[in-house]
Amino acid sequence: MQRTILDLWVGAFVVAGIAALVVLALKVGNLSTYNVSETYQLSAYFTNVGGLKPTASVRSAGVLVGRVNSIVLDTDRYEAKVTISVDKRYQFPKDTFANILTSGLLGEQYIGLIPGGDEETLQDGGVFRKTQSAMVLEDLIGKFLFSQADSKE
């Protein structure tokens, strides 16, 4: 009888551990905060996407409004075409800015949407006309060091 109770407690502990690992994986993957509902597709072109990845979050005013679906190289423009899914509850004006931002100094990258003032909204398949590419830390450091070297001559 004692052995059965001990086995039951060990089993419960293992199940709780597995559940904790699943929750941790969802948090790290940033998948637990997004409700799957009806979405529409939008696209944006960037000269440099930095470390942006598919499933990265799309935020407006800090609120999660969508996810990045895909990132491909458009061989006609030689720019990265980023396709995102936006929740249908959120409609954005045609002159919305799409910026690649970083959470914190070295955190994950995401797309930040800054709505404009246009009365027409982007529809399914629409393209953001105003974008700002990712700031690459290595490029900024290189420019700073190069400018310092020039000033000493």
Backbone angles phi, psi at 77, to 5 degrees: -105, -15
Residue 31's pLDDT is 56
pLDDT digits (tens, 9 = 90+) for 58-97: 999 989 999 999 999 999 999 999 999 999 999 999 999 9
The strand ranges marked E within 38-135 are 39-46, 57-60, 63-74, 79-87, 97-102, 109-114, 126-127, 130-132
Q: CB-based contacts of 146: which residues, under 8 Å, 6+ apart?
A: none
The overall pTM is greater than 0.85: no
Residue 36's pLDDT is 58
pLDDT digits (tens, 9 = 90+) for 6-65: 888 889 999 999 999 988 877 766 554 555 578 899 999 999 888 889 989 999 998 999
Q: CB-based contacts of 122: which residues, under 8 Å, 6+ apart?
A: 42, 91, 92, 93, 94, 96, 128
Q: CB-based contacts of 116: which residues, under 8 Å, 6+ apart?
A: 93, 94, 95, 96, 97, 130
